[in-house]
A and B are shown apart, each in its own frame.
Chain A
């Protein structure tokens, strides 16, 4: 599947999201563009506060209040989500685009059974035929590796383990057979062994059902195992993107290099983990210059005066860094 042949399922074009604060506009997302092909897992990686969650939410038209999309377009199956009314978005949500959340114990309503929640979504997007929904729910839960699906439907979330809760959550995301699932840190709140199971499950969903997944995580190791394409976020911007293979084999942006070096690796034999010095900067202000410059070990004088844009580096890889820009050198 070459990237140019088919229309992308999701194309985000120069997206800006901002939040009003007493100190001024907080620009959480600053001109992000990426494309997600049908049937792939697209990884969004970054530290907390880099704008990855809010980007994921914007795909469902659920930017948390009082934030708003202040520019750009989100094209899904050829239509612009940012121009849609809430009613139109409600028709898409759960139906064509679904979401999986970080902490399943918080994302499941504690006072309703799994069955009530799952069947509620099915009924919403396909009214009528309740018996059919019940059968579909049972087989969906069984497909996701949940034992005794019939009795599970009558269980409340607190009666399930974390892994079962997340599987139930995934079942709700799949209830109306969506084309796209936004998975926001779906394994972060789980035990390591359960994490691996859920990741395998997501990859299996892609392969068996052809579901496209936008996978948001702070964990590069998880990205390497699951994703086809990756975008690395830093302070509301994409600093590097490409195929997962390209990025793990040859990370080009100093931030990506730092992230990879910070991964614990059994064969490196190092005593201490490498860290990226400094902390994530401020999102208020117009942000002239490279956002990563204050922490960057290759910082050059013009890094503070000019903002680098994504530059092609061969293959599908792109990085926003003056290290790879012959024009930037001259100024």
Chain B
């Protein structure tokens, strides 16, 4: 099996997962108590008005027909209306999703660039002072509640030191006096594209605290995962063989061993990434970050079911894409995977 075939098969499987999720959200929407038409019109609507809306939205059609229409409109990018904001959900997501993605991406990059090297060092120093210290810090890192850490950081860096802004994505004066066109919705990228470095610096200053809080868990996790899997790899004969051939310890650790040890960490970081799309809700609320988490929370509180379905769908897609990416990286790293485990002959 070639690499292309392997990846094509993974991608084809992903399509089926997506269809399954569409079917599930559709079934749930027909099973839960509460008539969508009544939700749309409010509790005091007259029976005739509700009937009229049901006709209009096609809620009286047979279920299979409704499902096909649901799939069709979803595929064409129409996720329905939000009862709460009275706007197309796609419009809301256009600003909400990049906001969260930017935050989660920055924290994932921090996890890879800080967590993985620390994990490698920790494993190479196993049992020594640095390792003991890093294990204590990281166990704290994976167990500390994010809202508490967020409040502490705000107290320190905003209240006491006044180094960093309290929340939001940009300062109000930048938004008013010095705006930049939004291309990607990632402020760090858009401001850089516009060459607006003052706004870029402002966006960076705003993202530091929430990204640091959000990154605490994945950094600590990747230190621990990388350490554990490095310890296993470092006991392999091929590492002793590499030492016996005189290679430097740096090369053995970061090139030969890490390539063998990195996959479990990447798999877990992929899952954490997808989870954070909605899991960052507390961080987003504390830092007034206008992202998916707070959008979803408001939808839950106001029975805005179609928003919830849309968010579910988005999270599923992110999970699928991230897992595909991890599969691709794994296939790129390990020749035995793309060969399907057998010999090439």
Q: Which of A103-111, A129-137, A140-148, A307-315 contacts B (4 or more CB under 8 A)?
A: A103-111
Question: Given the complex of chains A and B, what is the CA–CA distance between A92 and B245 in angstroms?
Answer: 9
**In contact, B245 and A93 (Cβ under 8 angstroms):** yes
**In contact, B247 and A120 (Cβ under 8 angstroms):** yes
**In contact, B246 and A110 (Cβ under 8 angstroms):** no
Task: Name B residues whose Cβ lies closer than 8 Å to a Cβ of A.
Answer: 236-238, 240-248, 251, 256, 259-260, 333-336, 339, 343-344
Q: Contacts A110-B336, A158-B335, A159-B344 given: A125-B246 contact, CB under 8 Å?
A: yes
**Is A36 part of the contact surface with B, judged by Cβ < 8 Å?**
no
**In contact, A101 and B335 (Cβ under 8 angstroms):** no
Partner of B238, one of A62, A90, A108, A125: A108
Partner of A124, one of B238, B240, B247: B247
**In contact, A109 and B242 (Cβ under 8 angstroms):** yes
Question: Given the complex of chains A and B, what is the CA–CA distance between A99 and B240 in angstroms?
Answer: 10
Residues of chain B lying within 8 A (CB to CB) of residue A90: 246-248
Question: Given the complex of chains A and B, what is the CA–CA distance between A90 and B336 in angstroms?
Answer: 31
**Is A60 part of the contact surface with B, judged by Cβ < 8 Å?**
yes
Partner of A99, one of B241, B247, B251, B343: B241
For residue B343, which residue of chain A has the nearest CB? A159
**In contact, A94 and B245 (Cβ under 8 angstroms):** yes
Partner of A93, one of B237, B243, B333, B339: B243
Residues of chain A lying within 8 A (CB to CB) of residue B246: 90-95, 121, 124-125, 176
In this complex, the member of B251, B256, B335 whose beta carbon has the largest number of chain A beta carbons within 10 angstroms is: B335
**Is A172 part of the contact surface with B, judged by Cβ < 8 Å?**
yes
Report the minimal beta-carbon distance from A69 to chain B, rounded to whole angstroms: 16
Partner of B260, one of A101, A106, A111: A111
For residue B256, which residue of chain A has the nearest CB? A109
**In contact, B343 and A106 (Cβ under 8 angstroms):** no
Task: Name A residues whose Cβ lies closer than 8 Å to a Cβ of B.
Answer: 60, 62, 64, 90-95, 98-99, 101, 103, 106-112, 120-121, 124-125, 156, 158-159, 169, 172-173, 175-176
Residues of chain B lying within 8 A (CB to CB) of residue A103: 237
**In contact, B237 and A106 (Cβ under 8 angstroms):** yes
**In contact, B343 and A158 (Cβ under 8 angstroms):** yes
For residue A59, which residue of chain B has the nearest CB? B244
For residue B233, which residue of chain A has the nearest CB? A109
For residue B238, which residue of chain A has the nearest CB? A109
Residues of chain B lying within 8 A (CB to CB) of residue A93: 243-246
Task: List 14 contacting pairs A-B, 8 Å CB cutoff, sorted by A.
Answer: A60-B243, A93-B245, A95-B246, A98-B244, A99-B241, A101-B241, A103-B237, A109-B256, A111-B260, A120-B247, A156-B335, A159-B339, A172-B241, A172-B245
**In contact, B260 and A62 (Cβ under 8 angstroms):** no
Question: Given the complex of chains A and B, what is the CA–CA distance between A134 and B237 in angstroms?
Answer: 26
Report the minimal beta-carbon distance from B60 to chain A, rounded to whole angstroms: 59
Residues of chain B lying within 8 A (CB to CB) of residue A106: 236-238
Residues of chain B lying within 8 A (CB to CB) of residue A91: 246
Going nearest first, the 3 A-B pairs with the smallest beta carbon separation are A94-B246, A94-B245, A93-B246
Residues of chain A lying within 8 A (CB to CB) of residue B334: 110-111
Report the minimal beta-carbon distance from A225 to chain B, rounded to whole angstroms: 25
Question: Given the complex of chains A and B, what is the CA–CA distance between A253 and B256 in angstroms?
Answer: 45
Residues of chain A lying within 8 A (CB to CB) of residue B248: 90, 124
Q: Contacts A62-B243, A109-B260 given: A101-B336 contact, CB under 8 Å?
A: no
Residues of chain A lying within 8 A (CB to CB) of residue B333: 111
Report the minimal beta-carbon distance from B140 to chain A, rounded to whole angstroms: 28
Report the minimal beta-carbon distance from A282 to chain B, rounded to whole angstroms: 25
For residue B344, which residue of chain A has the nearest CB? A159
Report the minimal beta-carbon distance from A73 to chain B, rounded to whole angstroms: 21
Question: Given the complex of chains A and B, what is the CA–CA distance between A12 and B7 in angstroms?
Answer: 55
Question: Given the complex of chains A and B, what is the CA–CA distance between A103 and B237 in angstroms?
Answer: 9
Residues of chain B lying within 8 A (CB to CB) of residue A175: 245
Report the minimal beta-carbon distance from A147 to chain B, rounded to whole angstroms: 14
Report the minimal beta-carbon distance from A270 to chain B, rounded to whole angstroms: 37
Partner of A110, one of B241, B243, B245, B260: B260
Residues of chain B lying within 8 A (CB to CB) of residue A60: 243-244
Residues of chain B lying within 8 A (CB to CB) of residue A159: 339, 343-344
Report the minimal beta-carbon distance from B333 to chain A, rounded to whole angstroms: 6
